[in-house]
Chain A
Amino acid sequence: MRTAVIALISGAAAGIAAAFIALAIDDGGTTTIIREAPPAEATVEPASTVQRTAEIGEPAPAEPEPPPAIATAFDPAAIFKQIGPAVVSIETQQGLVSGSGFIVDGDGHIVTNFHVVQGSNSVSVVLDDETRVSGQVLGFDRANDLAVVAIDPIGVELRPAPLGDSDALIVGDPVVAIGNPFGLERTLTTGVVSALGRLRPPLEAGGRPQRGLIQTDAAINPGNSGGPLINAAGEVIGVNASAESPIDGSVGVGFAIPSSIVQRFLPEMIAGEEILHPWLGISSVESDEPGLLIESVFADSPADAGGLLPGDRLIRANGVAIEGFEDLADLLDDQRVGAVVTVGVDRQGESVAIEITLAAWPG
């Protein structure tokens, strides 16, 4: 059996769906033996990710603060009443639900997944009261699978959903997902945070891997894409986006983009920008020896232009010791495209310092 990363768009347009649903169908018997999930992509180019609190040169952020002594009661019915009106259906073709989204402010801005609106400049948005309005795709972040859609707020009652602090999540926190699985609008499902900080393969081959994802066992199915994952306080802490499954449906292993990433890039996306992420252009392997062993250097990449070579062992970057893939990814994540990063490498025993001007991820 093979497993597939499916993007959770409902199959509104099969032609488009094929672009981001990597499906492997198990034609075996009735008992599905789930294999171990593939290990995180250790050999993949380090990705820049979003960790809002990570500062260059600082140690990794401490453990998330423990929850308040008095746990918030988990009341999905109350959460649904509060947040349900913020959830919308998004249709890229009239009448065909493509995914979900949620209103984030009183100005008519809606957060959804990039893969829900990919290829469209305008979409149809169906609001809580079944009003259908036209939405314009503003900015997007292809790598993080986020997009912002704007609707005209005049004459529409908007009930935006508050964003919560995804950095404060702990495994086991109860969560609620609201969305449109299989087009069943405003479906509520429940579960817990199964894991945090998940690394997932890129949506597009050669793209930037997704990092920092929230894993949940709340049922997340095709059509849930772009809908909110909500904590017990009724705050959106994630954007449901994908799932690990041998089928095109939930087996209890769904993934959401943390709200911290949304918060970081929301102003630029609202401003209509395409979010670009810094790219180095190497693939590396971790080993017992210090640093990251560079396996290959992409032609014409920033690393190539700067003179990095396969076999180099990357020891430091901007003065920070690099002990693993995550260290480099975290560091890059706080840089901007065009920034210059100084890396120290061990080249066959010799210390070499190289300056690299970061480019944007191709694609």
Chain B
Amino acid sequence: MRTAVISVGSGLVAAVAAAFIALAIDDGGTTVIEQAAPATEVVADSPLVSNTLEPEPAATEVPAARVDDPVVVNAFDPVQIFQTVEGSVVSVLTPEGGGSGFFIDDAGHVITNYHVVQGHDEVSIVLSDGTSVTGRVLGFDSANDLAVVEIDATGMVITPVRLGDSSALVVGEPVVAIGNPFGLERTLTTGVVSAVGRVRPPLLDGGRAQRGLIQTDASVNPGNSGGPLINQAGEVIGVNASAQSPIRGSVGVNFAIPIALVERFLPDLIAGEVIQHPWIGIAGAAADSEAGLPIGDVVADGPAAQAGLQAGDRIVAVAGVNLDSFDALAELIDQRSVGETVPFAVQRGAERLDIAVTLASWPA
């Protein structure tokens, strides 16, 4: 049996669809999934889009209860959620196919997946009223599979989505996806959070693994890419992006990028930047009973190699923090910036070494 990681771009044009289907096909029969990491992406806690941007439309039965308001338990009402959010969802079309997206502010900024707009400066944005406008691709984050597209919002009244707290999700809570599976615009599907903190293989060979993903059994199919995953309060908590499936269709094992990642990088994305992620260039060896994280391999000319780290070294602490897993190391590095220097305490045989590693960006 082979399993494939499919990205959820719409296969409108099959021939070119391959361009945005990151097919990490594992023909070994088994997808060895790394241990899920706790959803501890530390997020810049400054959502650009305040909840007040959207006048509570018909603020009726469904109060916008936040997770930090445990008294109010919302009934799960997909009808209400759809009517509230549907107008914020768009189709993102390219000559090859396309995906979905949603307005994150009233200035015309659309969040979508990088793989939906990959290779394009301009795309077509189809609004909820059927109007098609030109969108300009601003910044993107290929590792996290995020991009921002801008439309000319002059004279438009745009209702952006409200953002929820993806770090507060619990397994089992109900969710809604809205998107354009197989080009069927503004399709609503429902499910639950199946798991949080999933680690998935990188979209590109040798790239950075995706971390902290939300898993859902809501049907997410090619074309749903870039569309919102929404909690029962009607708040967007994820960006639907990929799936685990033997086919180009949902088998109920789908993944969304937590909205916390969007919030963290949104200012840079809107500013037109290509988001860089810090890289040290090591591969971990299998854990054993000894103290420290054993380095299995050091990428030639990578930051670790240049600093003098070697395969076989055991990482005891990084920046003064004792680490118990490579996941923890990845999370720690993820909070740093490219160009920053991070002290590593390593054990090499009987010797204890302090080595400063200057972080580079992930190679493209």
Contact = CB atoms under 8 A, between A and B. Distances in A.
Nearest to B195: A187
A190 B191 contact: yes
Contacts of B252: 181, 189, 218-219, 221, 250, 252
A156 interface: no
Interface stretch (B50-58, B101-109, B165-173): B165-173
B342 to A, nearest CB: 27
B30 interface: yes
A97 interface: yes
Interface string A68-89: 0000000111111100100000
B244 interface: yes
Interface stretch (B31-39, B120-128, B204-212): B31-39
A141 interface: no
B80 interface: no
Interface stretch (A6-14, A142-150, A331-339): A6-14
A305 interface: no
B29 A248 contact: no
Contact of B194 (A14, A187, A251): A187
B247 A76 contact: no
A182 B172 contact: no
B interface: dominant SS: loop
A222 interface: yes
B74 interface: no
Interface string B22-34: 0000000111110
B65 interface: no
B190 to A, nearest CB: 9
B300 to A, nearest CB: 28
B217 A183 contact: no
B253 interface: yes
B185 to A, nearest CB: 17
Given A11-B3, A75-B172, A249-B247, 17 more contacts: A11-B1, A13-B29, A14-B1, A17-B29, A30-B14, A76-B172, A76-B174, A76-B192, A77-B172, A96-B30, A181-B244, A187-B253, A188-B172, A188-B194, A188-B217, A219-B252, A247-B246
A314 interface: no
A237 to B, nearest CB: 17
A75 B11 CA distance: 36
B144 interface: no
A231 to B, nearest CB: 14
B113 interface: no
B338 interface: no
Contacts of B35: 130
Contacts of A75: 172
Nearest to A222: B1
Nearest to B253: A181
B138 to A, nearest CB: 32
B194 A97 contact: no
A278 B248 CA distance: 44
A182 B3 contact: yes
B347 interface: no
A240 to B, nearest CB: 12
B172 A79 contact: yes
Contacts of A185: 33, 36
A188 B171 contact: yes
A186 interface: yes
B245 interface: yes
Contacts of B31: 182-183
Q: Which 7 A-B pairs have the closest CB atoms?
A: A219-B252, A11-B1, A77-B172, A76-B172, A249-B251, A11-B29, A14-B29
A251 B170 contact: no
**Which of B31, B36, B215 is packed against the most chain A CB atoms within 10 Å?**
B31
A116 interface: no
B198 interface: yes
Contacts of A221: 251-253
A181 B30 CA distance: 11
B148 to A, nearest CB: 30
Interface string B243-274: 01111100111000000000000000000000
Contacts of A247: 246-247, 251
